[in-house]
Amino acid sequence: MVNLSSFLIAGLALQAQAIVFNVSVGRNGLSFEPNEIRAAKDDIIEFRFWPKNHSVVAGRFNEPCVPAQAGGFYSGFFPTPADTINPQVFRVRINNSDPIVFYCSQNNGQHCKNGMYGIINPTQNGVTTLSGYGALARQAGNATSPAGGPFGGQIAANPNTSVPPSSSTTSSAAASSSTSSRTGSVTAVTTPSPTRGTSTSAGGNTTATANTAPNMGAPFVGLAVAGAAALFLV
Ligand SMILES: *[C@@H]1O[C@H](CO)[C@@H](O)[C@H](O)[C@H]1NC(C)=O
Ligand SMILES: *[C@@H]1O[C@H](CO)[C@@H](O)[C@H](O)[C@H]1NC(C)=O
Ligand SMILES: *[C@@H]1O[C@H](CO)[C@@H](O)[C@H](O)[C@H]1NC(C)=O
Ligand SMILES: *[C@@H]1O[C@H](CO)[C@@H](O)[C@H](O)[C@H]1NC(C)=O
Ligand SMILES: *[C@@H]1O[C@H](CO)[C@@H](O)[C@H](O)[C@H]1NC(C)=O
Ligand SMILES: *[C@@H]1O[C@H](CO)[C@@H](O)[C@H](O)[C@H]1NC(C)=O
Ligand SMILES: [Cu+2]
């Protein structure tokens, strides 16, 4: 009963959809998770802020914890009380495949120097890599926040402010407004793109994820999900 050709077409169409990469800011200590992202033009990086008072700033290579010379982005600070997730996110659109490094500019605890940095579209030359930037950041002093307010991205409502039980002590967190339980089915019918995905490294450990999560706005998604459901039923 599975219409294999529409199924495959749906899978291919999904590849072309923009991906929203969700990055947890400060969820597990002074870190961005994931901290290495391979994104395509028009993909979105959505930064979600966990407790403390973090920011995200596009930086420059060779000069750690200092803002990009031109363009880039800055979220401003997102103070977030313990046991909550900030109700707002900062979203940045990716315009090309150039490498971008980013960091947190909080100096109360010197977050950048102490591990709060990440990279989008790293290259292999030793400079525009996560470890290359990290080696420089560890020797940095205080980080610099750009003058003025946020730029280069949009502040939007956080679609999911529910705190997982393990990290919540007095949980009365708002209910999730996200309705996606479809991702698993969709993933089952798509082929991971070798050029898009994420990984998180800490102290030499790396967990990599090929990313196939689609933009749920596409009409193809329903088709793919229906196909996947049918496949699971046969
Ligand atoms: C980001 O989170 C949203 C729900 O808030 C989800 O639909 C989407 O699939 C997530 N993106 C990735 C790449 O996991
Ligand atoms: C967050 O950190 C920034 C930079 O250090 C500071 O200016 C701001 O007052 C802090 N906000 C809160 C609520 O602590
Ligand atoms: C670094 O930042 C901290 C916190 O804002 C501040 O107390 C300290 O004076 C700064 N150090 C330098 C060298 O600017
Ligand atoms: C993408 O282009 C927009 C509009 O010019 C700009 O605001 C944004 O900062 C750019 N994104 C990045 C990651 O530089
Ligand atoms: C919402 O975010 C929490 C982490 O804060 C995660 O454990 C949960 O799976 C997310 N729920 C949905 C529906 O995306
Ligand atoms: C690396 O992974 C090992 C095994 O999963 C774990 O015991 C260790 O704590 C991890 N180290 C870091 C820095 O995350
Ligand atoms: Cu921080």
Q: How far is CA 197 from the centre of its chain?
A: 10
Letter for the amino acid at 219? Answer: P
What the block records as the tokens of 188 is: 């089952």
Q: Which residue has the tokens 């996947």?
A: 228
The residue extents of the domains of the chain are: 18-229
| Prediction pTM value | 0.77
Mutate to test the pocket of ligand 5, among 20, 27, 176 (most ligand atoms within 8 A of CB): 176
Work out whether strand 117-120 and strand 36-38 pair parallel, antiparallel, or are unpaired: parallel
Dihedral angle of Cα 209, 215, 219, 220, to the nearest 10 degrees:
-20
Q: Find the 85 Cα to ligand 6 centroid distance in Å.
A: 25
| CB of residue 93 inside a 6 A radius of ligand 4 | yes
Cα(73) to centroid(ligand 3), Å: 23
What is the distance between the alpha carbons of residues 9 and 179, in angstroms, rounded to a whole number? 25
The answer to whether 121 and 99 have CB atoms below 8 angstroms apart is: yes
* Tens digit of each residue's pLDDT (9 = 90 or more) over 53-99: 999 999 999 999 999 999 999 999 999 999 999 999 999 999 999 99
| Per-residue pLDDT reduced to its tens digit, 144-178 | 999 999 999 999 999 999 988 764 443 333 333 22
CA distances, 212 to each of 137, 201, 225 (Å): 31, 20, 13
Element (H, E) at 33: strand 32-33
> In this structure, which ligand is nearest to the CA of 176?
5
Q: Residues lining ligand 2, CB < 6 A?
A: 53, 77, 79, 106, 108
Reported as a pLDDT band with limits 50, 70 and 90, residue 6 is low
Task: Assign a CATH topology to domain 18-229.
Answer: Immunoglobulin-like (2.60.40)
Q: What is the whole-number distance in angstroms between the Cα of residue 51 and the centre of ligand 5?
A: 16
In the predicted structure, residue 208 carries a pLDDT above the cut 90: no
